[in-house]
Every structure is written in structure tokens, then in C-alpha cells.
Amino acid sequence: EVQLVESGGGLVQGGGSLRLPCAASGFPFDDYAIGWFRQAPGKEREGVSCITSSDGSTYYADSVKGRFTISADVAKNTVFLQMNSLKREDSAVYYCAAAEPAAIAQHMGVVWDYWGQGTQVTVSS
């Protein structure tokens, strides 16, 4: 059974940090790109960042570049999204997903095969 399980969300003050793990199972972790998306109420889903653990390639949306860092622990089949200098506009439900490695070159504009349930991040002023 394919599973992507996010955790680590919560309430944080502006300027603070959170680290979101995404634990993957049921598919060959090294053969996929793992990405993070977010969706705030009334807004479209936004691709935030993704990584391919096979070669360490990464992609970041302009809105998070320099503040967020994505990494992968291959031994644990887990991808982490380290979020620093959080802003109110970062508040959203964050989802992790898995897709073909071309997601990096396509700036996450590919079909994502598997999705997690999401974790809420709320940044207060």
C-alpha cells in the first residue's frame, strides 16, 4: 500500500520555523521525486518544493526560495521541508506528493501520482 504521511504542522509566530517530515512507503522512493504543495483557503494549490533523492536535485518556488530547504533521508524514506522566516502568507495545508523525477525539470508541472493527507501550518502575526 502506497502511503505518504505528513507531520510537523502547527501554530508558529511570524519569523519562526517549522520542520515538516513526509514519510513514504509502498513505492520505490529513489525512483520518484517527492514534492511539497500547499493550499490556503480560497487559493489555488501551489507547488512549493521538490527533490529527487537519487541525485539530490531540488526545485523551489520563488515564494519560498532562501527560506525553505528540502532534504531527503533515503535510509528512512523520508523527505523534510525546513521552513524558516515564516510569514503569515505561508499559512496553508501542506501536502507531500510523489511523481516522476522529471518534476524537477518541469518545476513541479507534472502529474503527481501519490498524495498525503496534509498537515496544517498556521503562522500568526
DSSP-based three-state secondary structure for 102: helix
pLDDT, tens digit (0-9, with 9 covering 90-100), for 43-98: 999 999 999 999 999 999 999 999 999 999 999 999 999 999 999 999 999 999 99
Segment 105-116 mean pLDDT: 94
Joined grid coordinates for residue 68 = 525553505
Largest CA distance in the chain: 40
Q: CA–CA separation, 26 vs 43, rounded Å? A: 31
DSSP, residue by residue, 44-96 = --EEEEEEETTTTEEEE-TTTTTTEEEEEEGGGTEEEEEE-S--GGG-EEEEE
Query: What's the CA angle centered on 51, arms 39 and 53, to 5 degrees?
Result: 145
Instruction: Answer yes or no: is pLDDT of 125 > 90.
Output: no
